[in-house]
């Protein structure tokens, strides 16, 4: 069965992000933002995927190991990154009056404010040391921290930290001139290393392995994860990034001193951690330098003065964020926290905002005497510390906290409110394709169903019973999932059955079509089912943002959309001989999602909303400006627009569509 490599397909996605930074049709300041996203993504790749690739390289035959191909692709992309920044973006910024010093001598007029900033602000954060490179290592390089290696006239070397985690990476000077924090320090090395002439200065950083299995640890899960966070910062190096101008002899000496293997050495530019470009203080009188405002649309049924919970009780509401207001989700939790008839609240939390209003509402609910149960996924990578902090605060307020499930991550995005009026209980559910996070909701495209559907809400309650008790829902104990598709239970079987039904319809000569939108597609069983369906004559359209291991062939069309907003929703549409079934949810088709997580996909029953979802998908399939076609080599091939054909941008088109509802 033909499959594309998952890591090369991810690099193809990040190359598409880089392509947005190089695209002159993208507003200038947004191009800088895409460059920072590319850099941030790459750091995570080195922390999460590179350790596995390096391990495989040691055990696989040379002709099967993918590491050399990955390294070659990384080298090519980093060269393109440097060209895009230095040859395109920096000159374009300067033309707009935004001058970022990039290896240039700072103007004499700016020496004084740089000097004042160094002595009054920066100096107190610095720890300059002299290194004895021929002696045992005397210091530890922190993960992704920035350092300057300083060459001294007497043949010795110094090292000084760049405190970008404590101070802004950029200093704004008069007349829209900007200088790196790195260069503020470079200007004053003679003060840090007195009586020794400085003969050279080069930047370095180490990226460390972030993949530490929580199952390694013994004891309470909360303690395990807190221990893991400490160990992560001490992980083995996966990349030693150094200024390419550094002499080879010095590079090799540093590698030996810090115990860096040759395979971990990576040449870079003068500056590292260019994800910090997202913080670049850019201003211009030219409005074309940024995306125009796209204010979120109100949803008429939820705009009234009455209870939002009452409105949902009467009729389902499907939200399309960020095109529509996310405020209603915060209001859902706020009302539940204060409504005297609400007795119980259940919610899963995977990634929450650092100042989450939703979590504050849950804390208030508990203090208001309600029974609040929250499944906090402590193993959400890189959000563990934030989740631990919130979990402790909620527990102190009386919230019942469920700390994950051994061997599983709870990735589902669901909530349930139980309200008692007289002798009657209302169940009001919330099911989403994205996290309950007010911050990311501004730029992640997701869909959220608010519903009182009896079957869906009863099965939500059943799911929370399972997460609390571990009692497995089955037909034999009269607890099982029918409306919801839940990983570990029926999700894989149901998706498989729906794909096979389309294949059978195609063999009968009936119309057969599948449209799927995912973040990642890698699980072999599901790919095999799609191949078999295509061979049977099913027409399959896939929109896959990131990792994509399926190889396009006859009947399988594959595209990717990278634009202003991060495409994040998972949508599944099966033609079913005209009786279409539409599902949405949290589950990508990856091994981890289908076999090692609790995921929930939910049906869209309301015909009006089902049509909205289909219309939105059709707009994305018609995109001929930002969409690219993925070919068998995972290359991003721009969609060709025929002469006279109108331009279609999916996100602009969806924004207009949603505002007409």
Query: Which residues are known to be catalytic?
Result: 411
Contacts of 183 (CB under 8 A, 6+ apart): 101, 106, 114
**Strand segments (E) across 213-339:** 237-243, 265-268, 317-321
Cα(521)–Cα(333) distance, integer angstroms: 33
Question: How does strand 198-208 pair with strand 177-180?
Answer: unpaired
**DSSP helix/strand/coil, 266:** strand
Find tokens 């599948």 and name the residue.
Answer: 514
Cα(401)–Cα(566) distance, integer angstroms: 31
Q: Is 476 annotated as a binding residue?
A: no
Give the chain's length: 661
Cα(256)–Cα(585) distance, integer angstroms: 49
**DSSP helix/strand/coil, 72:** helix
User: Whose CA is closest to 575, among 527, 503, 518, 526?
Assistant: 503
Q: Classify burial at 23, counting beta carbons within 10 Å of its beta carbon; exposed 0-12, middle 13-18, buried 19 or more.
A: middle
Q: Is 57 annotated as a binding residue?
A: no
- Using alpha carbons, list the distances in angstroms from residue 392 to 49, 182, 359, 439, 579: 31, 37, 11, 21, 47
Q: Is 351 annotated as a binding residue?
A: yes
What is residue 446's DSSP assignment? E
Q: Is 444 annotated as a binding residue?
A: yes
Backbone torsions φ then ψ of 512, nearest 5 degrees:
-145, 125
DSSP 407-455: TBEE---EEEEEEEETTEEEEEEEEESS-S-TTGGGTEEEEEEEE--HH
- Using alpha carbons, list the distances in angstroms from residue 57 to 54, 61, 63, 184, 240: 5, 8, 10, 41, 18
**DSSP helix/strand/coil, 361:** helix
Cα(243)–Cα(271) distance, integer angstroms: 8
Which sign does the torsion angle of CA 50, 43, 380, 560 carry?
A: negative
What is residue 155's DSSP assignment? S
Cα(567)–Cα(546) distance, integer angstroms: 10
Alpha helices for 537-637 (secondary structure H): 591-595, 607-621
**DSSP helix/strand/coil, 323:** coil
Token pair listed for 13: 């996605």
CA-CA-CA-CA dihedral for 221, 225, 230, 234, to nearest 10? 110
Q: Is 232 annotated as a binding residue?
A: no
Q: Is 453 annotated as a binding residue?
A: no
**Which residue numbers belong to the known binding site for Mg(2+)?**
351, 381
**Which residue numbers belong to the known binding site?**
41, 351, 381, 444, 545, 568
**Which residue numbers belong to the known binding site for ATP?**
41, 444, 545, 568
């Amino acid at each position: 069965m033909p499959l594309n490599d998952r890591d090369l397909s991810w690099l193809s996605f990040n190359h598409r992000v880089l392509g947005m930074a190089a695209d002159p049709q993208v507003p200038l300041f947004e191009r800088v933002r895409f460059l920072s996203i590319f850099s941030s993504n790459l750091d995570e790749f080195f922390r999460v995927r590179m350790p596995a690739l390096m391990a495989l390289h040691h055990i696989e035959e040379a002709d099967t190991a993918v590491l050399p191909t990955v390294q070659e692709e990384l080298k090519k992309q980093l060269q393109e990154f440097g060209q895009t920044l230095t040859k395109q973006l920096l000159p374009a910024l300067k033309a707009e009056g935004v001058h970022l010093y990039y290896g240039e001598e700072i103007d004499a007029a700016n020496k004084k404010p740089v000097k004042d900033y160094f002595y009054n602000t920066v100096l107190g954060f610095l720890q300059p040391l002299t290194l004895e490179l021929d002696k045992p290592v005397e210091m530890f390089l922190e993960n992704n921290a920035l350092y300057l290696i300083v060459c001294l006239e007497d043949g010795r070397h110094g090292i000084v930290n760049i405190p970008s985690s404590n101070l802004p990476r950029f200093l704004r000077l008069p007349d829209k001139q900007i200088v790196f924090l790195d260069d503020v320090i470079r200007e004053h090395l003679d003060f840090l290393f007195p009586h020794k002439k400085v003969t050279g200065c080069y930047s370095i950083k180490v990226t460390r392995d972030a993949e530490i299995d929580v199952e390694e640890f013994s004891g309470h899960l909360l303690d395990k994860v807190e221990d893991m966070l400490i160990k992560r910062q001490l992980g083995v190096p996966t990349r030693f990034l150094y200024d390419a101008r550094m002499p080879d002899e010095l590079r090799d000496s540093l590698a030996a001193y810090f115990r860096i293997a040759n395979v971990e050495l990576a040449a870079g530019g003068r500056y590292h951690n260019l994800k910090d470009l997202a913080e670049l203080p850019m201003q211009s009188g030219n409005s074309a330098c940024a995306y125009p405002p796209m204010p979120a649309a109100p949803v008429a049924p939820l705009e009234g003065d009455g209870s939002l919970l009452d409105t949902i009780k009467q009729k389902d509401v499907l939200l399309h964020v960020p095109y529509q207001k996310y405020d209603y989700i915060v209001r859902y939790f706020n009302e539940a926290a204060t409504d005297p008839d609400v007795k119980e609240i259940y919610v899963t939390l995977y990634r929450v905002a650092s100042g989450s209003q939703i979590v504050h509402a849950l804390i208030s609910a508990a203090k208001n005497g309600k029974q609040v149960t929250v499944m906090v996924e402590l193993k959400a990578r890189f959000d563990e510390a934030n989740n631990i902090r919130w979990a402790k605060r909620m527990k102190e307020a009386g919230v019942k906290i469920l700390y994950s499930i051994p061997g599983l991550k709870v990735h589902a995005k669901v909530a349930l409110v139980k309200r008692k009026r007289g002798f009657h209980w209302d169940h009001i559910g919330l099911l989403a394709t994205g996290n309950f996070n007010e911050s990311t909701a501004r730029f992640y495209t997701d869909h959220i169903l608010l519903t009182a559907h009896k079957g869906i809400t009863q099965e939500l309650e059943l799911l929370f019973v399972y997460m609390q008790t571990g009692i497995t829902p089955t037909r034999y104990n009269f607890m099982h999932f029918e409306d919801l598709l839940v990983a570990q239970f029926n999700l894989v079987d149901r998706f498989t059955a729906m794909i096979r039904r389309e294949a059978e319809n195609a063999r009968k000569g009936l119309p057969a079509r599948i449209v799927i939108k995912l973040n990642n597609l890698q699980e072999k069983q599901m790919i095999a089912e799609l191949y078999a369906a295509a061979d049977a004559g099913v027409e399959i359209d896939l929109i896959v943002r990131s990792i994509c291991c399926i190889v396009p062939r006859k009947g399988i069309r594959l595209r990717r959309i990278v634009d202003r907003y991060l495409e994040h929703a998972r949508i599944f549409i099966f033609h079913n001989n005209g009786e279409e079934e539409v599902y949405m949810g949290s589950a990508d088709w990856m091994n981890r999602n289908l076999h090692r997580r609790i995921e929930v996909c939910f049906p869209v029953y309301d015909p009006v909303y089902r049509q909205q979802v289909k219309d939105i998908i059709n707009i994305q399939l018609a995109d001929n400006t930002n969409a690219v076609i993925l070919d068998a080599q995972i290359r991003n091939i721009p969609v060709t627009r025929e002469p006279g054909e109108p331009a279609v941008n999916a996100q602009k088109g969806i924004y207009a569509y949603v505002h007409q509802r």
